[in-house]
Amino acid sequence: MKLLFSKKIIPVIALLVFATAVIIAIKPDSRIDFSSQVKPIFNKKCITCHGGVKQKGGFSLLFRDEALANTKSGKPAIIPGKPAESELIKRIVSTDPDIRMPYKHPPLTDQEIKILKQWIKEGAQWGEHWAYVPVKRELVPDSRKGWIRNDVDQFVYQKFKEEKLSPSGEAERAILLRRVSLDLTGLPPTAAQAQTFLTDNSPKAYENLVDGLLASPGYGERWTSLWLDLARYADTKGYEKDGSRTIWKYRDWLIHAFNTDKPYNNFLMEQLAGDLMPDPDDAKYIATSFHRNTMTNDEGGTDNEEFRTAAVLDRVNTTWGALLGTTFNCVQCHSHPYDPFKHEEYYKFMAFFNNSRDEDSDLEYPLLRQYNKADSLKLNSVVEWLGKNVSLAEGKKYYKFLKTWQPSINTLKCDQFVNGALLDCSAGLRNQGTCRLKNVVLDQKDQLIFRYHTNINGGKWTIYLDSLNGRLLKTIPLVNRENKGSWQIGTADLPSAQGKHSLYFKFYNPSLKSPEETGVMFDWLWFDQKFPGKGKPGFEMASNSFNELMHAPVETIPVMVENNSDQFRATHVFVRGNRSVKGNEVTPDVPHTLNPMPAGAPKNRLGMAMWLTDPANPLVARTLVNRLWEQLFGYGLAETLEDLGSQGIPPTHRELLDHLSWKFMHDFNWSVKKVLKEMVLSATYRQDSKVTEELLKKDPNNKFYARGPRVRLSAEQIRDQGLAVSNVLSSKMYGKSVMPFQPEGIWRSPYSGDLWKISEGEDQFRRAVYTYWKRTAPYPSMITFDGGAREVCITRRIRTNTPLQALTTLNDSTYLVMARYFASRMNELGGGEVNKKIAKGYELMMYKPISEGRLNALKELYDTSFNKYKNDPKGSAQMLGIHDKPDPESASLVMVASAMLNMDEWLNKN
């Protein structure tokens, strides 16, 4: 018999990653299920060599059409219905080590072989992976068990029966109060919330508490912290230089969006394509900063196109990883090794993102320009005037230009510098310096508006067509207006010209002292028509307003703006992910195995956003619901939040995940608050989190939820609750990122003068979500408690438990300050005796009386401290941070307060 795979084809290294055998029983009376029985065998034993990455012997098991196609031998390896004749079966059962598959690896088990034989016999049908099938309404199991409070519990209870588990009782009210408050708002409950709940014995008490928490402003701040990881939000640009970036208004947009419970479909639509929605306002532009959180490389000499591309790839990977729970980045270099995504589909999807205006400019164009109130009114009147006297389209064009300076051309596109250079991203020319700007369309352009910088008057800028000896288009004098030496806007009329040209620039200024001195820098150029409507009533005023607005003071934030048709970029496949090897040109599209683009959706970012938020999209709701569940219960229903594909860990409760996802989209109309409420109102969530030996043995990680969640709080929650209980937490919302206390020497920014300048007043004590985030040197306590650098999207934080965490909450000055304030609060509210003060402190933290053992341990600490401090006035003063006022009582109470801020029950939700 002719071998299907000649030995030559099989290289020596046959990488088979997975060796563990999985035994899946075949039920005699049912058909083989591809997804749960066959696909796991392929993934573990075959697909590394016969899948998306490699197709040894011309054979791949990724798609059915590929698997049934002829291999290199000229024959197919699988013949549906005929296992005995299928080469695949012959090869896995062979005893000849040169023939037997998996090559040079342990053979398949008898059970696995049996499954594959049976599956081929039944026709070798492909099945779809659960996460790629649209979400459908699940049948809710109907158990009458009294424990059950809502549908969540029905699904959970169903599993209890299978796993022979039974639910735990409800957690005591104080525990539940703190748990749900930290979960929903990231903060402990206020005294009033606690008082109301703990004294309300009505059946609605808990639901009322939940409603109050969902409505509180802290809710938005808490869920924004989560989203900032996904959006890889930072206050710096990343890479080696890691300079500052002003993008905090995006963080504020998120807080507001969560608090107003913006439906999740709109929430995503605006972040992905707000700029392309009709008449985008500032908020819609700011939403698109989501994808401007990509890193920008300001290092000298870097190729802007390289890092622009890196940002675009990151947008694709973040969209898939964070919003669609898919490791799409695998597909950048080859077809997905395990999941049904083809190499080319990556680039088709990338094409949605490849036509935004950003070009890795150090100035981070395009920027949204936000005017003050008076100027905003002026802008409105200009737009209105144009709409009335010229056209609505002209109104929109000028609105966009004044809001974003687009569609201008960045001078970082200039090349062929002589006596000049690209200075970061601005074209700089010395006396007699020249450079070129390619591909400028001049049809019907009779005006040039440009941004430039010169320190010295007398400069002249000449523009030639097609070569330095070509037609002189224009000579423009460059003034240093009011001798300010700052960036300014210039305007020049242009003679008529047609077609697309290379423009050659030459700069003269004989009054420059040194030939080395740069005489001018250009930033961007806008070739267009003169302000329209001349002769119409009000023209002067509108045209003047336009000029004034170009110079008006603004606040800026990087946003997405799409290229216009002159600026269109073609997208190519990168062969094996290599940007410099371009394959076929592709047009925007979504992977063929998922839902198609909705009818009428344009093939651009907006259409992609419509596709992604279409209820037919199988991944978007599941990914979010799974993530919300993880935030409340410690682990996702599918543990690998970042990978719902066939290599991810399958969900423990697939039906529950689908049920909630369906409800989220259809019944709750994408309301995040409603789905969270459904989860926290369940009996499952309300359970006591105590562990019995039996439970620990049966379900160590609580994957079946027979007890309440008990996990360590996040970095943000730990800081915020400490500030809250110490009564120093600032309730100020929104605004610039702040710099709370941080030890010296954390920032190492060799190429920047940026300094960590400690914020003053209440800004010291803002919620963690407002802390300035520098990518190369994130805030230490955030990192110690498992935050990431946010260079790329963080799809899941892995919790750890380390001595460095202990040192942080013991010794970080922030926590010492908290302990001081907390002690003074205990002192104030606790009454005379030390025991009462400690008991009061515990109650402030945990909403219940302190146990005797805890009280004794803490009182003993107080006594030990007091004995020391009564003889050490200096020590007591230092402990209090007041240099001249020894106070052994207060210092000892600070010791106790600090210890209490380190209690395990405080660092966890119980």
Partner 1 sequence: MSERQNQKLSKEAEHAVLQQYTRRHFLKDGAMGFGALALGSLLGGCFGKSSASAHTLFDASNPLASRPPQFPGKAKSVIYIHMAGAPSQLELFSYKPELAKLDGLDCPQSLLEGKKFAFIRGVPKMLGPQAVFRQHGKSGLWLSDNLPHLATVADEIAMLNAVTTDQFNHAPAQLLMHTGSARLGRPSIGAWVTYGMGTENKNLPGFVVLTSGGNNPDAGKSVWGSGFLPSVYQGVQCRSEGDPVLFIKDPSGMDRDLRKASIDAINKVNQEQYAEYKDPEILSRISQYEMAYKMQISVPDVMNINDEPQYIHEMYGTQPGKTSFANNVLLARKLVEKGVRFVQLFDWGWDTHGDSAGNAVDIGLVNKCRKVDRPITALLLDLKQRGLLDETLVIWGQEFGRTPMQENREGKKMPFKGRDHHSAAFNMWMAGGGIKGGVTYGETDEIGYNIVSGKTEAYDIQATILNQLGFDHEKLTFESQGRNFRLTDLSGKVINEIIA
Q: Does 438 bind partner 1 (CB under 8 A)?
A: no
Q: Does 101 bind partner 1 (CB under 8 A)?
A: no
Stretch in the footprint of partner 1 (CB under 8 A) among 82-90, 135-143, 217-225, 901-909 = 901-909
Stretch in the footprint of partner 1 (CB under 8 A) among 30-38, 149-157, 257-265, 874-882 = 874-882
The residue (of 356 and 647) whose beta carbon lies closer to partner 1 is 647
- Selection from 105, 6, 122, 94 nearest residue 47 by Cα: 105
Supply the minimum distance, in Å, between the C-beta of residue 694 and partner 1: 11
Q: Does 890 bind partner 1 (CB under 8 A)?
A: no
Stretch in the footprint of partner 1 (CB under 8 A) among 150-158, 268-276, 742-750, 821-829 = 742-750
Q: Does 801 bind partner 1 (CB under 8 A)?
A: yes
Query: Cβ contacts of residue 856 below 8 Å, gap of 6+?
Result: none
d(CA 714, CA 771): 15
Query: Cβ contacts of residue 545 below 8 Å, gap of 6+?
Result: 378, 379, 381, 382
Supply the minimum distance, in Å, between the C-beta of residue 689 and partner 1: 7
- Enter the tokens of residue 80: 């549906």
Buried b (16+ CB within 10 A) or exposed e, 718-751: bbbbbbbbbebbeeebeeebbbbbbeeeeeebee
Supply the minimum distance, in Å, between the C-beta of residue 892 and partner 1: 9
Largest CA distance in the chain: 96
DSSP string, 28-81: TTSPPPIIIIIHHHIIIIITTTBSSS-BGGG---SSHHHHTSB-TTSSBS--TT
Q: Does 301 bind partner 1 (CB under 8 A)?
A: yes
Q: Does 203 bind partner 1 (CB under 8 A)?
A: no
The residue (of 15 and 392) whose beta carbon lies closer to partner 1 is 15
The residue (of 262 and 710) whose beta carbon lies closer to partner 1 is 710
Binding map of partner 1 across residues 398-427, x = CB under 8 A, - = no contact: ------------------------------
The residue (of 588 and 648) whose beta carbon lies closer to partner 1 is 648
DSSP string, 727-757: T------SSS-B-----TT----TT------
Q: Give the residue ranges of DSSP H helices in 636-789.
A: 654-662, 672-681, 683-686, 693-698, 715-725, 780-784
3-class SS of residue 235 = coil
Supply the minimum distance, in Å, between the C-beta of residue 255 and partner 1: 29
Q: By the 8 A CB rule, do 573 and 344 touch?
A: yes
Q: Does 257 bind partner 1 (CB under 8 A)?
A: no
Q: Does 758 bind partner 1 (CB under 8 A)?
A: no
Task: Scan residues 462-491 and list those touching partner 1 (CB under 8 A).
Answer: none
Name the DSSP class of 170: B
Stretch in the footprint of partner 1 (CB under 8 A) among 67-75, 408-416, 586-594, 898-906 = 898-906
Q: Does 857 bind partner 1 (CB under 8 A)?
A: yes
Q: How far is CA 197 from CA 150, 189, 194, 202, in A?
A: 21, 10, 5, 9
Task: Scan residues 258-287 and list those touching partner 1 (CB under 8 A).
Answer: none
CA angle 732, 739, 763 (to 5 degrees): 25
Token pair 């079946």 in the structure block, residue: 704
Gap between the terminal Cα atoms of the chain: 66
- Selection from 375, 347, 431 nearest residue 545 by Cα: 375
Distance of alpha carbon 623 from the chain centroid = 13
Supply the minimum distance, in Å, between the C-beta of residue 435 and partner 1: 17
Task: Scan residues 806-825 and list those touching partner 1 (CB under 8 A).
Answer: 806-808, 810-813, 816
The residue (of 14 and 69) whose beta carbon lies closer to partner 1 is 14
Q: What is the 3-state secondary structure (H, E, C) of 352-380?
A: HHCCECCCCCCCCCCEEEECCHHHHHHHH
Stretch in the footprint of partner 1 (CB under 8 A) among 11-19, 122-130, 156-164, 403-411 = 11-19
Supply the minimum distance, in Å, between the C-beta of residue 671 and partner 1: 33
Q: Does 49 bind partner 1 (CB under 8 A)?
A: no
d(CA 745, CA 756): 10
Stretch in the footprint of partner 1 (CB under 8 A) among 339-347, 375-383, 552-560, 848-856 = 848-856
Supply the minimum distance, in Å, between the C-beta of residue 896 and partner 1: 8
Q: Does 10 bind partner 1 (CB under 8 A)?
A: no
Q: Does 803 bind partner 1 (CB under 8 A)?
A: yes
Burial class (CB in 10 A: 0-12, 13-18, 19+), 22: middle
Task: Scan residues 648-707 and list those touching partner 1 (CB under 8 A).
Answer: 649, 689-693, 696
Q: By the 8 A CB rule, do 709 and 175 touch?
A: no
Q: Does 903 bind partner 1 (CB under 8 A)?
A: yes
The residue (of 58 and 577) whose beta carbon lies closer to partner 1 is 577
d(CA 294, CA 609): 18
Query: Cβ contacts of residue 823 below 8 Å, gap of 6+?
Result: 841, 890, 893, 894, 896, 897
Q: What is the 3-state secondary structure (H, E, C) of 522-588?
A: EEEEEEECCCCCCCCCCHHHHHHHHHHHHHCCCEEEECCCECCHHHCCCEEEEHHHCCCCEEEEECC
Stretch in the footprint of partner 1 (CB under 8 A) among 91-99, 428-436, 665-673, 863-871 = 863-871
Stretch in the footprint of partner 1 (CB under 8 A) among 550-558, 609-617, 618-626, 792-800 = 792-800
Supply the minimum distance, in Å, between the C-beta of residue 802 and partner 1: 6
The residue (of 142 and 904) whose beta carbon lies closer to partner 1 is 904
Q: Does 293 bind partner 1 (CB under 8 A)?
A: no
Task: Scan residues 558-597 and list those touching partner 1 (CB under 8 A).
Answer: 576, 578, 580
Q: Does 170 bind partner 1 (CB under 8 A)?
A: no
Name the DSSP class of 325: -
Supply the minimum distance, in Å, between the C-beta of residue 20 and partner 1: 5
- Amino acid identity at 276: L
3-class SS of residue 488 = strand
Out of 406, 623, 771, 784, point to the residue binding partner 1 (CB under 8 A): 784
Supply the minimum distance, in Å, between the C-beta of residue 700 and partner 1: 8
Query: Cβ contacts of residue 585 below 8 Å, gap of 6+?
Result: 570, 571, 572
Supply the minimum distance, in Å, between the C-beta of residue 849 and partner 1: 14
Binding map of partner 1 across residues 488-517, x = CB under 8 A, - = no contact: ------------------------------
Task: Scan residues 303-322 and list those touching partner 1 (CB under 8 A).
Answer: 303
Supply the minimum distance, in Å, between the C-beta of residue 118 and partner 1: 23
Residue 101, Ramachandran bin (φ over 0: left; ψ between -120 and 50: alpha; else beta): beta
- Selection from 772, 766, 768, 779 nearest residue 737 by Cα: 772
Q: Does 744 bind partner 1 (CB under 8 A)?
A: yes
Task: Scan residues 705-734 and list those touching partner 1 (CB under 8 A).
Answer: 710, 712
Q: Does 24 bind partner 1 (CB under 8 A)?
A: no
Q: By the 8 A CB rule, do 907 and 833 touch?
A: no
Stretch in the footprint of partner 1 (CB under 8 A) among 149-157, 472-480, 546-554, 865-873 = 865-873
Q: Does 97 bind partner 1 (CB under 8 A)?
A: no
Beta bridge partners of 370: 555
The residue (of 9 and 903) whose beta carbon lies closer to partner 1 is 903
Long-range pairs of 383-386 with CB within 8 A, sequence gap ≥ 24: 385/533, 385/538, 385/541, 385/542, 386/532, 386/533, 386/542
Task: Scan residues 330-369 and list those touching partner 1 (CB under 8 A).
Answer: none
Out of 391, 587, 860, 871, point to the residue binding partner 1 (CB under 8 A): 860
- Count residues near partner 1 (CB under 8 A): 77
Supply the minimum distance, in Å, between the C-beta of residue 144 and partner 1: 31
DSSP string, 291-319: GG-S-----TT--HHHHHHHHHHHHHHHI
Q: Does 868 bind partner 1 (CB under 8 A)?
A: yes
